Amino acid sequence: MSLPHEAYAGLVSRLVALAIDIAAVALGAAVAVGLAVGGSQMMIRETPGWVGPVVGVAIGLLPVVYFSASWWIVGQTPGGMAMGIAVRNGDGRPLGFPRSLLRAVFGLAFAPIWLLGMALVLVDARRRGLIDLAFGTVVLYASQPNADDLAVSEP
Amino acid sequence: MSYAVGAAKLSVVVNAARVPLGLAVLLAERLRADPGDRIPPTVGEVGAFAIGMGDAAVSAARRAAGAAAQRAVALGRRPASSAVWAGRIFLEQPGVARATAPVTWAGSALAHRVDATVVRGRLVAEVARADALAFLRAQSASGIAWVRGEVLPTIIDDLVSDPKVRELAVEQAHGALSDAAREARHRSAGADARLEARVHRLFGMLARHEPSP
C-alpha cells in the first residue's frame, strides 16, 4: 500500500516542529546550567572548576540525545508530537537506534545543510528533505493509517 | 427599625406582633398584583377598615397575641365590609335622612368613625408591611451570610479534594490542549499544501501530484 502525496509532512509543519524542538532544547540547556551553577552556589557557595566543562559537554550532547532518543523510542520529537508528524523508515517502520543517532548527529553537525536541504520537501514526490534522502527516511502526518502498513519502495 | 447587612451580628428591631400581619399584607399584594405592575396596589378600603378595627380592638383590650389578632381580623373582614357598605347606602337615602334627622348627627359621627378606622388601618398596614420587609431582608441577608461563611467553603473544600473533580479538571485541560494542537496541525497541513502549490506555480512545475479529493 502506498500513501498519497498529502500523507507526507510538508515544509511548514516540519519547520514549526523544529522550532518547537529548538526552544525545548534551549530551555533544557538553560535549566541544566541553572541547576549546575545555582546548585553549586547554594551547596558550597562557589562554582567548582569542573562544573563548566561538564555542563558544556552535557549541553553539547543534549540535542543529540534529545533528537535521537525521540526518533528511536517514539518516532516523534516533542515538536513533532505537537505538530502531529513522525519520522519513519522509507518502508514505514520505526527508526532503529543507529539510524536515529546518525540522523541526529549529521543533522546537527551540518545544521545549515539540513535546513537548506529541507527545500527539497517542496519538490519531492514524498516530501523528503536532504537528510531524509541521505538516511532513507520519510516524515509522515501521524494521523495517517498505521505506518507499518506502508510499503513504498525506495527510489 | 435598623438592620446591618453583611455584619457578623445582624440586629433587627421590629414589632414582632406586626410581622405576621405585614407578611399577610405582602402576600395579599403579590396575589392581587398583575404581572406587569411595577408598584403593587395598596391595601383596599375594606382591608384597611378590618385592620383598623382589629388594631383598635387589640389596643383597647391590650392583648398582644399576633396570631389571635390575625384570626380576628380575618374573621371580621367580610362582615365588617358588608356592614360598612350597607350602613353607608342606608344613611344616604333622602327619606331615611328626614326620618332619621335626629340620628343624622349620630350617623355622621359613625361615618367619621369609619373613615378614621380606615385611615388607622392603612397606617397600621403600612407599618406592618415595612416591619415585614425589614424582617425578610434581614433573614435573607443572614441566610446568605451563613451560606457564604459556612456552606460554600465546605463545598469548595470537598470539590478541591475530590479526586473525580480533579480528574475532570485535568481531562478538561488536556482536552483544551488537544483541541489547540489539532487546530494547529490542521492549519499547518493546509499551509504545507498552499506553500507547495505556490512554489510549483512559481517555477512553472507541472502538478505531478494532484491532491487527493
State the complex-level ipTM: 0.76
Taking contacts as CB-CB distances below 8 angstroms, the residues of chain B near A143 are: 185
Residue A5 touches chain B, beta carbons under 8 Å: yes
Domain residues for the domain of B81 are 18-159
> Could you tell me if residue B166 is inside a domain?
yes
Shared domain for B123 and B141, answered yes or no, is yes
> Could you tell me if residue B10 is inside a domain?
no
Shared domain for B149 and B167, answered yes or no, is no
Give CA–CA dist B177/A82, Å, rounded: 10
Residue B206 touches chain A, beta carbons under 8 Å: no
- Domain end, chosen from B140, B159, B178, is at B159
> Could you tell me if residue B7 is inside a domain?
no
> Could you tell me if residue A155 is inside a domain?
no
Shared domain for B126 and B169, answered yes or no, is no
Shared domain for B95 and B127, answered yes or no, is yes
pLDDT at B33 (0 to 100): 66
Residue B191 has pLDDT above 90, yes or no: yes
CB B30 within 8 Å of CB B40: yes
Give CA–CA dist A147/A137, Å, rounded: 12
CB pairs under 8 A between A and B: 51
> Could you tell me if residue B3 is inside a domain?
no
> What are the backbone dihedrals phi and psi of residue A85, each rounded to the nearest 5 degrees, phi first?
-125, 150
Surface-to-core class of residue B106, CB atoms within 10 Å of its CB (0-12 exposed, 13-18 middle, 19+ buried):
exposed
Taking contacts as CB-CB distances below 8 angstroms, the residues of chain A near B196 are: 10-11, 122, 127
> Could you tell me if residue B9 is inside a domain?
no
Shared domain for B61 and B106, answered yes or no, is yes
Share of chain B above pLDDT 70, in %: 66
Residue B205 touches chain A, beta carbons under 8 Å: yes
CB contact under 8 A, B188 and A4: no
Which residue among A6, A82, A143 sits closest to B193, beta carbon to beta carbon?
Answer: A6
* Number of domain units in chain A: 1
HEC readout, B11-77: CCCCCCCHHHHHHHHHHHHHHHCCCCCCCCCCCCHHHHHHHHHHHHHHHHHCCCCHHHHHHHHHHHH
- Domain end, chosen from B159, B182, B200, is at B159
> Could you tell me if residue B212 is inside a domain?
yes
> Could you tell me if residue B145 is inside a domain?
yes
Domain residues for the domain of A45 are 5-149
Residue A10 touches chain B, beta carbons under 8 Å: yes
CB contact under 8 A, A10 and B211: no
Shared domain for B24 and B119, answered yes or no, is yes
Residues of chain B numbered 131-190 and touching chain A (CB < 8 Å): 181-182, 184-185, 188-189
CB contact under 8 A, B181 and A13: no
> Could you tell me if residue B12 is inside a domain?
no
CB contact under 8 A, A83 and B188: yes
- In this predicted model, what pLDDT tens digit does every residue of B192-209 receive, in sequence order? 999 999 988 888 765 555
**Residues in a beta bridge with A140:** A8, A86
> Could you tell me if residue A104 is inside a domain?
yes
> Could you tell me if residue A13 is inside a domain?
yes
Full-model pTM: 0.53
Residue of A nearest to B197 (CA): A122
Shared domain for B145 and B200, answered yes or no, is no
CB contact under 8 A, B191 and A12: yes
Share of chain A above pLDDT 90, in %: 63
> Could you tell me if residue A154 is inside a domain?
no
> Could you tell me if residue A135 is inside a domain?
yes
Residue B17 has pLDDT above 50, yes or no: yes
Shared domain for B107 and B209, answered yes or no, is no
Measure A132 CA to nearest chain B CA, in Å. Answer: 17
Which residues fall within 8 angstroms of residue A20, CB to CB, at 6 or more apart?
A77, A78, A79, A82, A83
Give CA–CA dist A80/A94, Å, rounded: 14
Confidence band of A98 (pLDDT split at 50, 70, 90): very high
Taking contacts as CB-CB distances below 8 angstroms, the residues of chain A near B195 are: 10-12, 122
Shared domain for B212 and B125, answered yes or no, is no
Cβ count within 10 A of residue B75:
12
* Number of domain units in chain B: 2
- In this predicted model, what pLDDT tens digit does every residue of B34-89 receive, in sequence order? 655 555 556 677 777 887 777 777 676 655 555 555 665 666 566 656 776 777 77
> Could you tell me if residue A125 is inside a domain?
yes
Measure B191 CA to nearest chain A CA, in Å. Answer: 6
- Domain end, chosen from B159, B174, B192, is at B159
Query: Across residues A2-8, what is the average pLDDT?
Result: 85
pLDDT at A108 (0 to 100): 93
Give the residue carrying C-alpha cell 332619621: B100
Residue A19 touches chain B, beta carbons under 8 Å: no
Residue B213 touches chain A, beta carbons under 8 Å: no
Give CA–CA dist B43/A135, Å, rounded: 95
Query: Across residues B126-138, what is the average pLDDT?
Result: 89
Shared domain for B69 and B149, answered yes or no, is yes
Residue B204 touches chain A, beta carbons under 8 Å: no
